[in-house]
Structure 1
Amino acid sequence: MRKATGNVTKIKKRLGMLDRRLFRSVADAHFPGFDRVLPRLSRAADNSLLWAGVAGTLAFTGRRQMRRAATRGLLAISLASPVVNLLGKQAFARARPSIVDFPLARLGRIPLSHSFPSGHSASAAAFATAVAMEAPARVSVPIAVTAGAVCFSRVYTGVHYPGDVLAGMALGVTAALVTKRLWPGQTVIGEARVAMTAPLYDLDPDGEGVIAVVNNAAGRDPSTAAAVRKALPNAEVVEAEPGDDLMKRLQEAAGRAKVLAVAGGDGTMNCGAQAALEHGVPLLPIPAGTLDHFARTLGLETIAEAVAAYRAGHVVAVDVGEVGGRVFLNTASLGIYPLVVDRREDWEGKIGKWPALVLAMADVLMHNRSPEEMMVDGVRRRVWLLFAGNCAYESRGVAPTRRERLEDGVLDIRLLTAASRLPRLRAMSSTILGGFGVSRHYHQWRADTVRVASVAGPGAEVRLARDGETFTAPGPVVFGKRPRSLLVFRPVD
């Protein structure tokens, strides 16, 4: 044991010496033109302002692919930055490099924080990797080159050792890959199987009989309502503003509509599905949110695609889930996730959705949370998270993202329990990364109903989330299915 510890110490010492020699080699090197360019580039990347500007430029193009690249890039930074600055730097507490005899002309401002790992490098690698997942090479390659230059500039300006930069880059790439768990890629669009129905031939191509409810509180684009009016000039467009009773607006529209069109994110689509079901009208999903899981699974990514599906009259039947008297199109859950959503909603109006999500995760981790004592189908469990998917999802873990079918009649149940005391960090990492390393506490099965009750007894309230929206219901609650009950428009294959 002592010998092994000594070997580790020797390896660390050798790596440290190599790191310092490489730093000194860079300090002694001179590259014409770099002394002006790299210090400015390094400063531009402070607080990720450079990447925020690039993301804004990509989003300003108006192309969905570029907006996705920008969103994924900022999401990756939102994951990488707190890991580096709140965890990594505090854990290793490495001092900054010595600047004795360092060329003053290119010396950067020495931060007060610790040196390992490099936050600038983590953000640069996270953004560049995430953009490469979405954007074509003509866009992603220049961004990758710029990110590489930022990473090198941290050594060239004397504020980091090469090892700090490499560690930061590794964390950044990892954060970008993790975004695939939180937000699936383009390959899932329109893949899910549905139940075919007879097409609708008596539809007015200009939208007569269509009532479109546009949720401006959820919209990613303030011109959504105008775009819907232009595409369907005979349709009635109802704009729901922040603070409006969205469900009331949807119920009123569904009661008068031949087709209920709903523009918004997954939470808005969820409410629209409930109104469409209650009034027996088909639902036209118009993607206008941040993630749009349900619309994307159907194959709808733009307003134009939704309008084309409506004009083709291509209607299919899909399942919906139900819990606490409310339907869900994608997922419903209890435990850690509703807590995260509640915290995120408290902050997202001030700092944006993805930074709020990161802070919400940190808040749930830092505070003294305990697993909930629940009866799950009659078995007493200490529950960190119960996930119910509307139809079977691919992959193992408590944060799956893909479905092959929308009409299989089953709930996909994922349960993360604490047999003794499962640390919150492990539970949260399982939620994000897919259940790795918690096999003893992870359970997965498929059913058409699942009954959950608090051990506190009948009537005890249960906090739930469905399609990203939270609510409280008196227990016990039953997760159930309504197979092939919702008619929705989908593009013709």
Structure 2
Amino acid sequence: MPPFRSSFTVRSAAWLRRRDLAAFESVAGRHWPGAEPLLPRLSRSANHGLLWFGAAAGMAALGGSPRARRAALRGVASLAVASAAINTVGKSVVRRKRPVLDTVPVIRRLKRQPFTTSFPSGHAASAAAFATGVALESKGWGAVVAPVAAAVIASRVYTGVHYPSDVLAGAALGAGAAFALRGVVPTRGQLSAPGRPPTDAPVLPTGEGLVVVVNQESGSAAAATSLLRNALPLAEVVECAPADLRGALEEAAERCLALGVCGGDGTINRAAAVAAAHKLPLAVFPGGTLNHFAYDLGIETVQDAAAALASGSAVRVDLGRVRPGPDGPGGADGCFVNAFSLGVYPELVRTREHWAPRIGGWPAGVLAAFEALRGKSPLEAELQGRRRRLWLVFAGNGTFERMGPMPGRRHNMADGLLDVRVVHGGRTPGLRLLAAAVAGPLTRSPVHAAVRRHRIRLSGLVPGTPYAYDGEVAHSGTELMIDKLPEALTVYCPMSHDHMTTL
């Protein structure tokens, strides 16, 4: 390196150190009204990420929407990536000593001084990573979290444990970690517009001409119903017990321009069959525990569905079909909007539904998974004409794409295809099911096969074998045919995620 260039670099570094020290002393000598009792406590609360874990838990519990839960999860994941980068690489690259505290008033100093190197600031990295991760998933929640993150970042200089350059570098690394994670696991807003054929539907801005049937026992139906009445004041709302759903839906279909339904996927399944039979558009208001169908359509709140009704935005989607249906030969075919499954999953569904009212949905799911796999043997059936031992046969209505390493959603619900997953028989169902979950959406292995088909045929079944469709459990005869009814259903659907509520 030429001498003049080396000299320039040394002078520049010295100038930056002087400016950094001057900025630190300026902050130390400045009186910030109200900051002395607040910022040191806020700085301590962020130790080990506890403040951000608490914020994420509060968002998930009180946010009331899947967007809030996704934002909380992405914020925590971004924080984890930033912390790993700072602690394994960042702190060891620049061995900078902490600032001298002589100019910092005693009342501001932390009771326990950190002993790690000063550059970069881990607290600033965690705060910026969490706030950026939240904002990438939800602008509204990002606006709530950002001032708190900024205060934590400022508190590290205010309490004298970091130079300004330490927190600026940490904040930049934290934000970068959040964007890097987004490159691996896309946000919902990054996903391309679903490839669904748009269609015409009645424009119903006030809900006049809409009859909404509400399953009173669905997970979040009560809260959704209150929002629904406010958003669509002229809609007719019919609340009924699960046993009365079919009759209420048939009666509503006789007197409406559009049929609405509020409940979980099992409730939506029944409404979809009635709407398709009567050639009516369906308005879906998520009111269940999981709401897979609604979320894949971009409907996460009552307001999303109301916005689609106000603009008349609708799409055509396929219906999955099971023949013979749950009533046996001669009865109506079974329809599904999400998935059909055979094997251990129907037993899991049955056990989960039994325990969910007593201990809650997620604990019931864990218990059900344990019970479903304990001491079970694979079923035997002919799949596409070949005799096999099987732990699981899954047929999704449309192809389920992945979001990075995470299970994904359906971008096209009118592709005419079944997403078929098969877990072959063996002695270790738990390990095989885990391998199937980790494997890609379209793979072949001795354990797991995943393909796309227009139809599949299962024969040689033991009569009474349980199967599940959209969370409902029925029992088979000796043979089942699973195929699709292409574009059989019209559903109101917001055409862009950009117009959805952000908080």
Measured against the shorter chain, the TM-score band is 0.5 to 0.7
Which residues of 2 match residues 31-50 of structure 1 at below 5 A? Answer: none
CA distance in 1 between partners of 2:146 and 2:454 (Å): 48
**Contact 1:189 / 1:300 at 8 angstroms: preserved in 2?**
no
**Contact 2:137 / 2:189 at 8 angstroms: preserved in 1?**
no
CA distance in 2 between partners of 1:468 and 1:214 (Å): 17
* Post-superposition offset of 1:417: 0.9
Aligned to 2:475: 472
* Post-superposition offset of 1:314: 2.0
Aligned to 2:111: none
CA distance in 2 between partners of 1:139 and 1:252 (Å): 45
Aligned to 2:212: 212
Q: Give the length in aligned residue pairs.
A: 366
Which residues of 2 match residues 340-351 of structure 1 at below 5 A? Answer: 340-351=348-359
**Contact 1:191 / 1:299 at 8 angstroms: preserved in 2?**
no
- Aligned to 2:401, what secondary structure does the other structure show? coil
CA distance in 2 between partners of 1:189 and 1:467 (Å): 25
CA distance in 1 between partners of 2:268 and 2:136 (Å): 27
* Post-superposition offset of 1:257: 2.0
Q: 1:394 to 1:56 in 2, by over 3 A?
A: closer
**Contact 1:189 / 1:296 at 8 angstroms: preserved in 2?**
no
Aligned to 1:412: 419
Would you say 1:403 and 2:406 are equivalent positions? no
Aligned to 1:380: 387
**Contact 1:320 / 1:327 at 8 angstroms: preserved in 2?**
yes
**Contact 1:374 / 1:452 at 8 angstroms: preserved in 2?**
yes
**Contact 1:55 / 1:71 at 8 angstroms: preserved in 2?**
no
CA deviation string 1:17-73 (max 9, x = no partner): xxxxxxxxxxxxxxxxxxxx9xx999xx9xxxx989973565335565335557999
Aligned to 1:486: 489
* Post-superposition offset of 1:377: 1.5
* Post-superposition offset of 1:378: 1.1
- Given the alignment, which residue of 426, 429, 433 partners 1:424? 429
One-letter code of the match for 1:273? A
CA distance in 2 between partners of 1:254 and 1:416 (Å): 40
Aligned to 1:251: 250
CA deviation string 1:409-438 (max 9, x = no partner): 1212111112xx341221232354347998
Structure 1 unaligned blocks of 5 or more: 1-36, 75-126, 145-176
Q: 1:55 to 1:240 in 2, by over 3 A?
A: farther
Q: 1:389 to 1:371 in 2, by over 3 A?
A: same
Which residues of 2 match residues 328-339 of structure 1 at below 5 A? Answer: 328-339=336-347
**Contact 2:313 / 2:494 at 8 angstroms: preserved in 1?**
yes
CA deviation string 1:250-275 (max 9, x = no partner): 22222322200111222221111011
* Post-superposition offset of 1:308: 1.4
Aligned to 2:372: 364
CA distance in 1 between partners of 2:288 and 2:360 (Å): 14
Aligned to 1:196: 198
Which residues of 2 match residues 251-270 of structure 1 at below 5 A? Answer: 251-270=250-269
**Contact 1:188 / 1:297 at 8 angstroms: preserved in 2?**
no
Aligned to 1:226: 226
Under a length normalisation based on structure 2, what TM-score does the superposition of the two structures give? Answer: 0.61
Which residues of 2 match residues 22-421 of structure 1 at below 5 A? Answer: 55=57, 58-62=60-64, 65-68=67-70, 186-187=188-189, 191-197=193-199, 199-200=200-201, 203-220=203-220, 222-241=222-241, 243-323=242-322, 324=325, 325-365=333-373, 367-395=374-402, 401-418=408-425, 421=426
**Contact 2:211 / 2:260 at 8 angstroms: preserved in 1?**
yes
Q: 1:336 to 1:187 in 2, by over 3 A?
A: farther
One-letter code of the match for 1:393? F
* Post-superposition offset of 1:283: 0.5
CA distance in 2 between partners of 1:434 and 1:362 (Å): 21
Q: 1:131 to 1:469 in 2, by over 3 A?
A: farther
**Contact 1:400 / 1:434 at 8 angstroms: preserved in 2?**
no
CA distance in 2 between partners of 1:131 and 1:364 (Å): 36
One-letter code of the match for 1:487? T
* Post-superposition offset of 1:468: 2.4
The percentage of aligned residue pairs carrying the same residue is 38
**Contact 2:340 / 2:395 at 8 angstroms: preserved in 1?**
yes
> Greater CA radius of gyration, 1 or 2?
2
Q: 1:379 to 1:474 in 2, by over 3 A?
A: same
One-letter code of the match for 2:434? S
Q: 1:246 to 1:274 in 2, by over 3 A?
A: same
- Aligned to 2:254, what secondary structure does the other structure show? helix
Under a length normalisation based on structure 1, what TM-score does the superposition of the two structures give? Answer: 0.62
Structure 2 unaligned blocks of 5 or more: 1-41, 77-129, 150-180, 326-332, 497-503
CA deviation string 1:198-229 (max 9, x = no partner): x245x443222210012231142523222222
One-letter code of the match for 1:300? I
CA distance in 1 between partners of 2:75 and 2:473 (Å): 27
